Structures are given as structure tokens and as C-alpha cells.
Amino acid sequence: MMSPIQPKPSSGNRCYTVQDLQDILGVGRKSAYSLLKRNEFRWIRIGAVYRIPKKSFDEWLESRNSELTKE
């Protein structure tokens, strides 16, 4: 059985970057942007930069972990 993925500790910022998502999920840049395009969780685009509210992402991640542990 897979162990649940845990977000890294908060550094005080209210948003994650795409790089943060890559690190947390262990995926590449293309996969991280694919998640954004699928609107799996809320995100904000400021110019060319994406920011993902931690609350939205963490809730999505927790729901995914719950689904994995049920299987």
C-alpha cells in the first residue's frame, strides 16, 4: 500500500508555486502544468506566473490520499 503524500511544511506563504507542486508530488513540470489545465484545484495567474492557494491544493491532495487509501 502506498503511503500518503504529505505537503512540505509551510514557509509562511499562502500559495505554492509550480515548482512546489513538482517537489510535493514528485512530478515533472509538464505534469504539474497539466494539473493546472485540468482545474484539479484553484490557481491564480499573475502575468506569466502561477500561484496555487495552499488551502485549495492541500484539500485536493488530502482527497486524493483518501481515495488511494480506500483502494
Instruction: State the pTM of this model.
Output: 0.74
- In degrees, to the nearest 5, what angle opens at C-alpha 27 toward C-alphas 62 and 12? 55
Confidence class for position 9, pLDDT limits 50, 70, 90: low
Question: For residues 11 and 33, which has the higher predicted lDDT (pLDDT)?
Answer: 33
CB 2 within 8 A of CB 67: no
CATH 1.10.10 fits 15-70, yes or no: yes
Residue range 29-70, pLDDT digits in tens: 999 999 999 999 999 999 999 999 999 999 999 998 877 776
Confidence of residue 8 (pLDDT cuts 50, 70, 90): low
Q: How many CA atoms lie within 13 A of 52 on its CB side?
A: 23
Which of these, 26, 12, 25, 37, lies nearest to 61 by C-alpha position?
Answer: 25
Delimit the domains of the chain by residue range: 15-70
Task: State the pLDDT at residue 52.
Answer: 97
